[in-house]
Structure 1
Amino acid sequence: MASYPTAHTTDIENPRLRLLNKIKNGEFPLMTFMALPSVRIAQIIALTGVDGIIIDCEHGHIGDDAMHNSVAAISSLGVSPVIRIRGPAHDIIKRALDTGAHGIMVPQINNAEEAQQIVASSKFPPQGVRGQGSAFPAIGHGLTTPEYMKTANETILTMIQIETRMGVENVDAICAVPGVDVVFIGPNDLAQSLLGYTPARGDEPEFVAAVDKIIAAAKKHGKWAARMVNNGSTAKEARKRYDTVAITGDTKAIQNWYISEFEVARSS
């Protein structure tokens, strides 16, 4: 067990931290992914009623400049920006958190050692090895820099993704790592790793067993469980088992709307 407060146990109350506040209160916050590098896209999505926006720096078309601008735009509108980084390297985690993000998401975690490294890079001493030298992160939390440094370790959400066969095999040890807050299932990559194809139908026995194992490990170790879903109806169904979900993303939302409306326009 952790000997220091985490996002699960903190008694710090900051109304700016919408995602943390809702998930702690069991309110099933809704997230979505953002892959397009635009302040205006960030603002448009933030005004939809979403609770958290995952700025996708792994697969999205988003570099450092757009990452900073998106975090500022999203947090200023009362929504929580989370950055999905491209890998678990210390400098990448530091760079993402220095934007003022309310959390980070790290893809393809395979073992407890990787999870421990992520937690260490995410927290200031004595709990971790994160360095301080920027005025920017406090802004996204609506705090002064000293206030931010005192509270960041226990209010920033550290999310790790389980989306490989090895990650599933080691999921119990991964979920036991103190400081891991959210265990997020990446269903497409998980299906690719387990079954050799995507998208999964979702009813394949090996895929279902892996999802069950991940959720059970998260619950056993007191972590929040999350996943990506395709639409509102599947998000609603996910309330039974998950603490939060991400409903697709900006590129799919735009494309799907146009496709469906063009089909209507061309129908007889």
Structure 2
Amino acid sequence: MTISNTYPTAHSTSVSNARLRMLNTLRSGTKAVMTFMAIPSVRHAQIVALCGFDAVIIDCEHGHIGDDSMHNAVSAIAALGVSPLIRIRGTGPDIIKRALDTGAHGLMVPMINTAAEAEAVVRASKFPPQGLRGQGSAFPAIAHGLTTPEYMQSANQTLLTILQIESREGVENVDEIAAVDGVDFLFIGPNDLAQSLLGYTPARGDEPVFLEAIDRIVAAARRHGKWAGRLVNDGVLAKAAFEVFDSVAITGDTKAITNWYTAEVKVARS
């Protein structure tokens, strides 16, 4: 295992903060369970957070989540002792700054294809001297249970920077992406990855090119001392994935609601 970071990150930090449930779970070697949240509502965020997850990924890429709902969800989830993560919609510094100013415990960044893109994300996510992030909000410290000066001292080394590898180009460049200082976690988006590699989605799961790509992503993460995770559809698949991955996201709120109601209505009408 190679860790090339030249400054403390989520993997090597000596900072101890009991509020950071996802980071603490990963650092303890325990398998972490997440889910995606796409529906905007403080009450909905609370309900999802109380289901036993280590982290809830607030989906600002594909979900119906605007800035106001993003802020409200982060505060609601963090208050219940669960880590709020935000999947942002792009890699722009303004998008990254806005998401981090909610107090999110980590960012998930979609469709990272090159090391240069990974470096830009890290640069925008870190305060100087490691990056270019600006300070001006009181909200981030609140979700970490800290004062603003305490947050400023710890944020660079406790933020989880999670990059999604979900394209042919991303797989081809995954070793260089994983080697970037400040990248903590590679996350596989299996549906987009299947579409890129196979021309259809979802994958059946037995296609050699698809399985080889997953192996290559995990190998790169391991080689550079980074965590690896993926999306799965249910708990049975999560248990199987834990043989390989450090963390999984079990589906998302919209699919969970749809699947449960559809199955129960079918039973009721049978």
The count of aligned residue pairs is 267
Q: Give distance in 2, aligned partners of 1:3 and 1:29.
A: 26
1:139 to 136, 142, 147: 142
1:229 aligns with 2:229: no
Identity rate of aligned residues, in percent? 70
2:260 to 241, 253, 257: 257
2:55 to 49, 52, 55: 52
Q: What is residue 22 of structure 1 aligned with on the other side?
A: 25
* TM-score normalised per structure 1: 0.99
Compute the displacement of 1:186 (Å).
Answer: 0.1
Q: Deviations over 1:219-241 (max 9, x none)?
A: 00000000000000000011111
Q: What is residue 269 of structure 2 aligned with on the other side?
A: 266
Q: Give distance in 2, aligned partners of 1:172 and 1:101.
A: 27
1:199 aligns with 2:202: yes
Structure 1 residue ranges, 4+ long, deviating more than 6 angstroms after superposition: none
1:32 to 35, 54, 59: 35
* TM-score normalised per structure 2: 0.98
1:130 aligns with 2:126: no
CA RMSD across the alignment? 0.5
Compute the displacement of 1:11 (Å).
Answer: 1.2
Q: Deviations over 1:117-164 (max 9, x none)?
A: 000111000011100000000001000000000000000100000000
Q: What is residue 68 of structure 2 aligned with on the other side?
A: 65
Paired letter, 1:167: G
Q: What is residue 105 of structure 1 aligned with on the other side?
A: 108
Q: Give distance in 2, aligned partners of 1:52 and 1:93.
A: 19
Compute the displacement of 1:29 (Å).
Answer: 1.0
Q: Superposition pairs for residues 81-120 of structure 1, below 5 Å?
A: 81-120=84-123
Q: Give distance in 2, aligned partners of 1:84 and 1:183.
A: 13
Compute the displacement of 1:111 (Å).
Answer: 0.3
1:217 aligns with 2:216: no
Q: Give distance in 2, aligned partners of 1:79 and 1:118.
A: 24
Compute the displacement of 1:93 (Å).
Answer: 0.3
Paired letter, 2:259: N
> Runs of 5+ in structure 1 lacking a partner?
none
> Runs of 5+ in structure 2 lacking a partner?
none
Q: What is residue 157 of structure 1 aligned with on the other side?
A: 160
1:248 aligns with 2:248: no
Q: Give distance in 2, aligned partners of 1:215 and 1:24.
A: 18
Q: Deviations over 1:183-224 (max 9, x none)?
A: 000000000000010011111011001000000000000000
Q: What is residue 13 of structure 2 aligned with on the other side?
A: 10
Compute the displacement of 1:266 (Å).
Answer: 1.2
